[in-house]
A and B are shown apart, each in its own frame.
Chain A
Amino acid sequence: MRQSYSQFIDQIKQGNSFSGKERNCAFLNLGNSQFANVSSVSGLDFIDDARGLAVTDWDLDGDVDLIFANRTAPQLRFMQNDYPGDHGFVSFQLVGDASNRDGIGARVTVTSGNGSSMTKMLRAGSGFLSQSSKRMTFGLGSSRQEKITVRVDWPSGQVQTFQDVDPDHHYRITESRDQLEVVDRKTQNTATLSPGALPNTGNPGTLSAVCYPRMKFPVTPVARDNQSPQPLTFSARYTLINLWASWCNPCLSELKEFAEQYDELQQLGLEIVALSTDGADGKSTTVADAARAAAKLQLPFQWGSINRAWLDKLTLLRGELFGLRQPFPMPTSILVDQNGDMRAFYLGVVDPEALKRDLQQLDRKDDEIRNRLTSLTGHWIAVPRTIDYLKFATLFKDNGYPEDAAQYDRLAGGQKARQYYNQALQSMEANQMQTAESQLREAIKLDDSFAPAHLVLGNLLIQLASRSPAANQKQVLDMGLREYRKTRELDPENFDALVGLGNVMIQLRQPAQAVEPLETALRVKPDAWQVRVLLGRLLINQKQMQQGVAQLERAMQSSPENSEVAAAYGSALMETAQYEKALAVLRIAADNQSDDPRISRLLADSLMTTGDFKSASLRYSLALANNPRDVNSMLRLSWIMATAPDPNLQDPQMALRYSQQAVSAGSNGPAARQALAAALAAGGQFPQAMQQQAAAMQMIPRQSPHFSAANRRLQLYRDGKPYQQSKNDPVPFFAK
């Protein structure tokens, strides 16, 4: 059975037809449920392996035309209906209102004067892989002159009836209107197309082809100088494998031509290997004949001979690649690149000029090559196809080529892993994370060295971790960490993996360990400002202030216009009490991004730290206007209103209201308490001020410069004096 089955498959591969040259059928309805075969006289009986068939009154002449989609050439047939009979027609375009707008599912009944009716339902999609026109055309038989009645049963349940309708018109029926509209095509637009089918061009059996996608060339044992055969290797940028034989005159003249052009071709990166089929191709010539011919030609490039098994293998290959399991014609040349990938087949004698052109094109991307091949552009939605190596592995195993089977098996494993990987990307796009995870694990199982699968799995696990219950989070993060580490092991300079590692370390609360991978990532991609900002902040967080600020400064230099970077850098400068520098940076940033609230806030802070209370209070007021719950701005504004030396800025009442509001909103840190204390003091409520100030000092470390400043203020309050901010005193909100 298997034998007979594969024999059948073989015949197909060898180019046999199967239910081919069948002619389309047409059956004429004679009434009374009888049909007559008019396949041929209708003019539709093409032998195109037709697939799709759509019906439309294309030219609006009242009869329906047919459009076929075919497997063989021509792929499209537009069959215009020229039937000359005097049968009347009527056609309708439906516009639904309560029903769907297209009117799909509506039943239209046309009744002629003698009472005979015909009902059609409008549908979208019928036949096979086909959709016909939404215009419903009714033939009226001989009742040309008679008026007709039209009834529409809409899917909504509404029924419309139109009496005394004139035939031979195109109408629009709208569900919400009780009138038919005539939509006849304007006669001046009617043009007659001239007859003529698309040509049936191109014999697929005799084509040169460029390999798209590329594929590894089979193992090729070549015998040279009566030595035992050695497998061919590909060290040149491109190698042209030329199949020739001493009995083949076109082969010999082609070789001569190659020999003459050899220098030039070599300069283009081409090596030539001439493989003689003498003694292997069933002809009477022998390897000795090949040797004589080669000597006579004085070939400047290497030549050798191949055996029968290899030729048979190439025939198999041809069957798989081009659907024709027959020996290649002589000569045939195959262009192979440095990776051992086949790039082009030349059936017959190679035109050296075409070869040179190809050599210059082959470095392009696969898709550009496809465009050039077809001279048809377009775009892919999914991933472009690849060679199915598993199929080749099986083919060669079944046909007794274990070495090739092994080669393609190896490639197939990796390839299948990639298929799983692509599928996983799609699953992620469709938000099917569990499916994606199992697909990625399949991919890794098939090819543990496939770094992208590890990487994407790492990313996926980090995403999953954020959705996991808290108890499991660490476990999932650890799994993600392993995938990133594996990715890095396979691909040490993988930027995404390095960033992922840093990220997952931070999430695992081991920030110190995040520094190294992030630094490495920045060596790979120095311009990645996000990573540099992350690293800078991480370092500051680690109290490595100088290094952190340095990173952010560098980020600022490479992305001077980036508000994210400016904000991070400015805030780092503030944290390290480099107020003047912060002010300068933030002023420029604010000029560039005037509407960025973070920049605006930081700028206000830096203005305040440098003593420009007036500008600062303006900006805080603006921030509060935009966000009335901004407690930070409240506290800062309160501080200014309570302590500003400029009487125009002083407003103890407002200061107290803001600070109280902030504190009752939950701000009860030392700075908030000090602000409240200052506001109370400014309003003369010294005992309460002292109370708040003392509470604040409980929270300030004794060695901090803020402690002594706070203590001085406490003294003032004890003495019944409000505090006035001086330039040298630290502002409670900011570092010193």
Chain B
Amino acid sequence: MQPDLPHPETARRLTATGLPTQPGLANRRATAWLLVCLLTCLIALGCSGEKQETGSVPTSGVPAEKTPQDIPSDTNFDQLADVESFEQAASGQLKKITQWIESGRGDSALITSIASENYQAANIDPGKLTTLRDTGFRIQTLPKKSTGSPDLAAESDVSTSLATTWNQLLGPLDDPSGQQPAEQRVKFKITRVEIDDPPAQTSTIVSVFARYDNGTSAEVNATLQIAWQLEADNKKPLIQSVTIDDFETARLEASEGITFTDRTLDLIDRDPALVNQLSHGTEYWISRLMQGDYAGHFGLAVGDINGDGRDDIYVCQPAGLPNRLLVQQDDGRVLDQSADAGLDILDQTRSALFFDMDNDGDQDLLVAAASFLLLYENEGKSRLKLREKLFEARSAYSLSAADFDNDGDLDIHACGYAAFFGAGPFPFAYPFHDANNGGRNVLYKNDGKGNFRDVTDSVGLDENNSRFSMASAWEDYDLDGDLDLYVANDFGRNSLYQNDDGQFRNVAREQQVEDQSFGMSVDWSDINRDGQPDLYVSNMFSSAGNRVSFQSGYMSRQPELQSRMQYMARGNSLFLGGKDQFDDISIPSNTWMGRWAWSSKFVDFDNDGWDDVVVANGYLTRQVPDDL
């Protein structure tokens, strides 16, 4: 089914969510509503699956809809529109650099046309590259001067050719023997635009990747300040200078081997039904089945269902497609045993969790369906029995289990994303940057035999508990012997519930981890091995959001709101645990740019004893290549 876009009534309400409004804007410029897109995308699509679910309940606990107040517009839309159209023009010019790189950087005339006559940039001395690591991955950067920008060659040593600048920038990608890459990819993202005073300035993130036939691969990731000479119509601005803010390159020589290899096809043993199901995307199935969640929020769980010491996988699927239980065999391949196990559920299910609910030594399974949680008891021999439906957790996204009260059994936490169960328009997140009209998260206490009771309120977890919660993760952050809970919320501030003998208190603000943004995912690790748990929260980085929210004319009379909006577009957050409170090291640690991020995990993928980070990302890749 096509995503259930909000009822037009909700569009009207959107106008009062604190967002700037001005009628007729869209007709004038096609780009100025990009921010609106950013701001509304999740509501428009991310939650679409819910609307299809069975009828509505006149529930208590759903906050009464707030009466929107009309906020006077303090945003200069002409300025934003100009910014966005300049960005389009600049991106169009940068595309020529992309083409030139991908065609092998041969004919420099290809990009001479986009440089101004007085172009100049400091030469980059490859000798100045500092090697941060040389085992396996080779990581090099340009060291920063005290002023913050990298220490390049002597200031007087400048180049006047754009091609020279780029050849120097991409030098670390080159093969010493002069071999051409088998594959090259270039991606520009303009994250800041300053057009008030000429020359125009853009802050641009560039990523270039090259892979050679022998298996060697290398990438350059840099942030550049580009000054543009504005032409009369602004359609084709010319590059006047390039300054480097950040420069980093990673290289993995073929002789060092490769890191990850996709072996899915052999993993599922070419089972035709499985291949058929999983080699088609969500949208294929929507077009076949006329239903389904456009946003594709379907996860997976890894666990050992049959106790043979090998992990198995449970894959959650949209409505109309069966979930899959993939059981690992001796040869490392899997056999689909979903039907045998009674787990070939056709209902829309977002996530699942293996855990031993009754301490009997086998893995039971919890599955988040749209209107309830399904609790399956392992009866041995890979057969599971639906034991109970837990109705309190509706519209649940991520699930987690932990023994919050240290009584020797596992309790359940389920994130309820939206307070919406079928009838009427989907509730808009309100207010947009701090929405508190979402669903209810539920903590279920286990009586030791796998009987669960909703204790959310009595343990203090109903505080800050009507957010659009995506994910939660447990950790004893204060190292006092009981588990604390971090909850990542879409559209606003997150919660850190500190556990004191089974009673919770939200300490996110005092611990400085509210991370008021679009929280999607949370994971813990001790990344600096100081014994204090550290926290990684994924959000959505938005180039458009960054460009627009930093304009002087954006929410000019609400500086606090403006800075919140800037933060919301920033990206992922890494918080370093400390003795007193957490320290936000997202920017200096270089882990913030995770794009539109979803599940993000600490993973020590090179076994060096330091946890790395992997970010799953991307929102909607659709048939028409144009990206909004």
Contact = CB atoms under 8 A, between A and B. Distances in A.
A382 B347 CA distance: 7
A197 interface: yes
A24 B209 CA distance: 14
Given A33-B527, A69-B315, A71-B295, A20 B627 contact: yes
Contacts of A193: 263, 266-267, 332-333
A18 B400 contact: no
A491 B77 CA distance: 61
Interface in A346-401: 370, 373-385, 387-388, 391, 394, 398
Contact of B2 (A5, A13, A34, A190): A13
Contact of A40 (B219, B263, B278, B576): B219
Interface in B13-40: 14-15, 19, 21-27, 32-33, 36-37, 40
B68 to A, nearest CB: 12
B69 interface: no
Contact of B261 (A49, A80, A126, A420): A80
Interface string B300-331: 11111000011101011001111100001011
A24 to B, nearest CB: 6
A82 B260 contact: yes
Contacts of B290: 209, 211-213, 215, 321-322, 387
A50 B616 contact: yes
A526 B190 CA distance: 77
A442 interface: yes
Given A50-B599, A321-B2, A38 B289 contact: no
Interface string A116-150: 11111101111111111111011111100000000
Interface stretch (B93-101, B120-128, B134-142, B556-564): B134-142
Contacts of B609: 87, 116, 118, 138-141
Contacts of B330: 189, 191
Contacts, number: 726
Contacts of B610: 29-31, 139, 141
A77 to B, nearest CB: 6
B217 A139 contact: no
Interface stretch (B143-151, B160-168, B459-467, B585-593): B585-593
Contacts of B481: 157
A123 to B, nearest CB: 5
A440 B65 CA distance: 24
Interface string A155-176: 1110000000000000000000
Contact of A17 (B132, B316, B625): B625
B282 A124 contact: no
A134 B309 CA distance: 11
Contact of B264 (A77, A85, A439): A77
Given A36-B132, A125-B400, A378 B300 contact: no
Contacts of A89: 607
Contacts of B528: 31-33
Nearest to B257: A84
Contacts of A183: 309
B236 to A, nearest CB: 25
A11 to B, nearest CB: 6
B398 A129 contact: yes
B359 interface: yes
Interface residue tally of chain B, by bracket? Answer: 35 or more
A584 to B, nearest CB: 46
B283 A204 contact: yes
B209 A60 contact: no
Contacts of B217: 40-41, 43
Interface string B472-504: 111110000101000000000000000000000
A82 B279 contact: no
Interface stretch (A93-101, A479-487, A495-503): A93-101
Indicate the member of B53, B135, B289, B533 with the most A CB atoms within 10 Å: B289
A72 B619 contact: no
Interface stretch (B55-63, B194-202, B225-233): B55-63
Contact of B260 (A62, A66, A73): A66
B83 interface: no
Interface in B260-299: 260-268, 273, 275-291, 294-299
A527 interface: no
A201 B283 CA distance: 11
Contacts of A700: none
Interface string A1-37: 1111111110111111111111111111111111111
B605 to A, nearest CB: 6
B139 A80 contact: no
A21 B618 contact: yes
Contact of A380 (B52, B313, B346, B372): B346
A15 B624 contact: yes
Contacts of A81: 259-260, 605
B410 interface: yes
A67 interface: yes
A205 B607 contact: no
A492 B613 CA distance: 66
B264 A76 contact: yes
Contact of B526 (A45, A118, A194, A375): A118
A34 to B, nearest CB: 6
A651 interface: no
A684 interface: no
B2 A320 contact: yes
B262 A36 contact: no
B531 interface: yes
A198 B278 contact: yes
A22 B589 contact: no
A76 B628 contact: no
B91 interface: no
Contacts of B351: 52, 129-131
Interface in B407-465: 408-410, 413, 421-423
Given A5-B40, A40-B207, A74-B264, 14 more contacts: A2-B12, A36-B139, A41-B217, A47-B618, A69-B315, A80-B260, A82-B260, A100-B408, A102-B401, A104-B403, A139-B608, A209-B290, A370-B320, A418-B55
15 contacts: A12-B622, A15-B622, A27-B615, A54-B300, A76-B315, A126-B473, A129-B298, A130-B299, A130-B300, A131-B399, A142-B608, A194-B263, A377-B344, A380-B345, A442-B58
Query: Can you list the 6 inter-chain pairs with the closest CB atoms, starting with the nearest?
Result: A129-B299, A71-B296, A419-B55, A139-B607, A378-B322, A125-B400
